[in-house]
Structure 1
């Protein structure tokens, strides 16, 4: 007689599904059963809960970190729209990234959850679309289009992230299913039962893997949707009271403090560089120490404006002044420290207008003129890149200056003067200013056009900034050097052989004053503005 156990008939379970062994009982995929009940049962198993936690805690941060920004064009700038890399905090601010410069948190846009928006911009492009920022007529529609582009970019990024999270969930569920099968097989190997065929294993576990995959995808998408809702709520709440870029990112603007004694009796003032000084002219009567240090003349634009308007105008300009060193900061000249012109301006009481003459020194304009005189072709990419770099730096400094002027007590009329062209492309080639210093290549129409285009770029920045703040722009009509058929009254500019080449003559100073006087006389007096 053999063993009784060998003759025992096989046991048929009442349940239609069995596990690989008694310790790893699982439920087969049974289409005729309620799928919702099976999903709920699967949701109670700890391996499934671990998988769902991985999808939420690991999957969402991984997708955010790996999902690249979507490139959109807004105001002529290429902007990357995405989300900042997640960290362990429960909430955090959105972020602005300026390529090659800095990462700036936006505290007003505080977002709960892992999905915190990030905009990446730069390098800044100067083009017609960017100019719309300063065009009041088209700013409204351009701003609407810009916001729509950013919103579309974020939606694109968000949907692409959702697809990435679905892929993560599917892969994680497949890996989890494989791991559960391996664990079951290992447990079965320790028992006395025969190891099932691989087909039988796949049949028994297919329903479980399918259900865990569905749960992983659904829970991941719900988590992604919740993160999106929190991001939208945080951004919308933070943007409610934003009216400017300073409101959004904060401001670190520090204006120069008032300097020196209080001054009264002046209706206007002029700040700026050597063009406003009128270097080379006769000295002023009874000069102050700063008048002498800065060589201010008796026929400067400030004096001429006073003569034309019948008002008393203060001249604070100084040769070599830039915005950083001269207007907003102290200027060292001949061993003497000249106080910031803005600081002195703040001590002048009851001003009705202020004239601003600035720009060429900030760009190091003399460098470009001398280079064009010296070489056969000055239109190379290296010097063009240097000019663009300096112009961008001037643009930033100019923005700070405009804020200082806009905050002056009494809100005087601000008149920004543009820069004049020294030569015309059709200038007489035999003219000394065209031939240049001895031993140099001199200028030609191509070089003069290049210099004129760069001067136009400077004037565009000057005018655009002034218009943004509602300031006036004066463009003096000075006759360039070496111009054939010019009037016989006299030259507006000093020539290359004069003591101060390319600076205004007395006549040029008068023309500069006339361009300002016309604007000042047309303006509504400051004391009358508030009543309108």
Structure 2
């Protein structure tokens, strides 16, 4: 019998195709796993903190986008804003301003031009934070790939050599994906971050909001306008002789400091100040006062087309000063981390709102003299009369420091805008003195100026006014 030589069987081409399909399926599965790991790693990798110029910023990546370029993300005091700078690639930076370590640093938010620029160190640290975040994200993504692959190879009981190849392939693939996303496509991101010096570099300036129009004829005979809160309204003092319902709701007084200035200069005054008003709710927006609705003060001020003086008193309600004092009074101490963080957050938000108000005031067509009043210090060295109310000398010192931080923002903003900031000094006439200029705990409006205190504020403003306004 002759033996026939056997050639390749017909099954071998089919086996090669099957192996190729299996390899392609492995590669496709590994690619899908790598992409999923990168997407999840971007979500869970902790942002990297960097500190410079009194500010702490956390650097990370914004949620992945399908577009190949676009803005980054800035988380600023609870707001999410797109950055002015655009970045290449689907992985773009996310910056989160988490803390301002020094209250005075809030004033930086108000500055413009060279005065707003921080330091070269800020940009360098942002860039290094981005690189550090990229390294951490790569490590997290690698872990997210290796864990399921290790479990899968264990269940399949793969030989050690094949297990190592699968794990190495998954690690190489996820590293390659991250390298493309962070270091190739987004290679210009560190350079762009190094150019950052200020918030303006990140988000730019929004155009000033248009001054709203108010109904009614022009008030051409009004010479001065007062805007702001209960300090300018004169809360707790003698009421106006013929008050309207809105005057009563706003607690406007005949003994307010704007009224004292009007009497001294023979001005026709439009006092729009209202108790409880903030920059957002009262000055630039409507204010709800029970059944009364106060229109935006700035809208009413625009009707005074011939007004040459605008008096401004804002900030205390914006930072919740009354709540801070009450919390301080009932707490063992006032400088705990919780109340300090609360105050700094409110102060930072006020700085942004105040900047918007200043820009609106600068657009008033009559170009009036704008006087921004700082707040007086109500607490003297002797606070014995407040002991029953829970305020000690140590607590008063903490409240005084916070008031100084608020005044620093008011002063810096006014100077930057070209307006006049007036410091108020009640030395010798603070609470617990023989003749206080401040209403006490038993008065109608505690911590507000008395009639004598309002007159002292008016005298300080009078000295600060240009000669032709006196």
Match of 2:229 in 1: 273
**How many pairs align?**
454
Say which SS state the counterpart of residue 305 (structure 2) adopts. Answer: coil
Q: In the TM superposition, what whole-angstrom CA distance separates every residue of 1:88-126 from its partner, at most 9, and x where no partner exists? A: 666665333469x46x36275555543222223435655
Find the counterpart in structure 2 of residue 15 from structure 1.
Answer: none
> Any idea what SS the aligned residue of 1:71 has?
strand
* Aligned counterpart in structure 2 of residue 323 of structure 1, from 279, 284, 288: 279
Residue 310 of structure 2 corresponds to 354
* 2:460 matches 1:507: no
What are the Cα deviations for residues 113-161 of structure 1, in whole angstroms up to 9, with x where unaligned? 4322222343565556665555679856624321221112112333556
- Structure 1 unaligned spans of 5+: 9-20, 27-44, 183-197, 525-532
Work out which of the residue numbers 36, 54, 58 in structure 2 matches 1:80.
Answer: 58
**Alignment pair present for 1:418 and 2:394:** no
For the aligned residue pairs, the C-alpha RMSD in angstroms reads 5.5
Alignment of 1:20-99 (within 5 A): 58-59=33-34, 62-63=37-38, 65-66=40-41, 68=45, 69-86=47-64, 93-97=71-75
Which of 1 and 2 has higher RCO (CA within 8 Å, sep 6+)?
Answer: 2
Output the TM-score relative to the length of structure 2. 0.71
* CA apart distance, 1:421: 1.8
SS in 1 for 2:449: coil
Partner of 1:337: 293
Q: Aligned ranges for residues 129-140 of structure 1 at < 5 Å? A: 132-134=108-110, 139=115
Query: SS where residue 142 of structure 1 aligns?
Result: coil
Whether contact under 8 Å (1:61, 1:114) holds in the other structure is no
Give the secondary-structure state (helix, strand or coil) at the position aligned to 2:82: strand
Counterpart for residue 149 of structure 1: 125
Q: CA 1:379/1:23 → structure 2, altered by over 3 Å: closer, same or farther? A: same
- Counterpart for residue 8 of structure 2: none
CA distance in 1, matches of 2:235, 2:150: 81
CA contact (8 A) 1:268 1:313 kept: yes
Q: Distance in 2 between matches of 1:167 and 1:46?
A: 27
Between the aligned partners of 1:413 and 1:506, the Cα distance in structure 2 is 25
Provide the C-alpha distance between the structure 1 equivalents of 2:114 and 2:83, rounded to a whole number of angstroms.
30
After superposition, what is the alpha-carbon deviation per residue over 1:303-360, rounded to whole angstroms, capped at 9, x for unaligned? 3334556655432112343334432343455743332222212222144442211233
User: How far, CA to CA, are the matches of 2:461 and 2:236 in structure 1?
Assistant: 21
Per mean C-alpha deviation after superposition, the further-off stretch among 352-361 and 162-171 is 162-171
The answer (yes or no) to whether the contact 2:64–2:90 under 8 Å persists in 1 is yes
Structure 1 pair 79/449, CA: closer, same or farther in 2 (3 Å)?
A: closer
Q: 1:309 to 1:244 in 2, by over 3 A?
A: farther
1:419 Cα deviation (Å)?
A: 1.7
Aligned to 1:115: 91
C-alpha deviation, 1:298, in angstroms: 3.8
Match of 2:406 in 1: 458
8 A contact 1:71–1:153 mirrored in 2: yes
**Conservation of the 8 A alpha-carbon contact between 1:64 and 1:161:** no
Shift of 1:230: 3.4
Structure 1 Cα separation of the partners of residues 249 and 450 of structure 2: 20
Q: How far apart, in 2, do the equivalents of 1:230 and 1:224 lie?
A: 9
The equivalent position to 2:462 in structure 1, one of 506, 509, 517, is 517
Partner of 1:303: 259
Separation (CA, whole Å) in 1 of partners of 2:234 and 2:403: 20
User: For residues 114 and 59 of structure 1, do their structure 2 counterparts lie closer, same or farther at Cα, with a shift above 3 Å needed?
Assistant: farther
Q: What CA distance in whole angstroms lies between the structure 1 residues aligned with 2:130 and 2:327?
A: 47
What is the distance in 2 between the residues matched to 1:107 and 1:502?
42
TM (norm. structure 1) is: 0.64
The residue correspondences of 1:174-185 to structure 2 (distance < 5 A) are none
Cα deviation code 1:37-84 (max 9, x no counterpart): xxxxxxxx8888777777766536634642633322244343332223
Aligned CA distance change for structure 1 residues 412 and 64 (closer, same or farther; 3 Å): farther
Contact 1:330 1:337 in 2 (8 A): yes
Corresponding position: 1:396 with 2:349: yes
Q: Distance in 1 between matches of 2:323 and 2:231?
A: 17
- Secondary structure at 2:284's aligned position in 1? coil
User: Judging changes above 3 Å, is the alpha-carbon distance between structure 1 residues 249 and 137 closer, same or farther for their aligned structure 2 residues?
Assistant: closer
Match of 2:396 among 428, 444, 448: 448
Go from structure 1 to structure 2 and tell me whether the alpha carbon gap of 1:144 and 1:371 turns closer, same or farther (over 3 Å shift). closer
- The structure with more radius of gyration: 1
Paired with 1:46 and 1:522, the residues of 2 have a C-alpha distance of: 90
- Shift of the 250–424 alpha-carbon distance from structure 1 to 2, 3 Å rule, reads closer
- 3-state SS of paired residue (2:380): coil
Q: Rate the CA distance shift 1:282–1:59 in 2: closer, same or farther, 3 A.
A: closer
- Contact kept in structure 2, 1:108 and 1:238, CA below 8 Å: no
In the superposition, relative to structure 1, how do residues 50 and 309 fare at CA in structure 2: closer, same or farther (>3 Å)? farther
Residue 511 of structure 1: CA displacement? 2.1
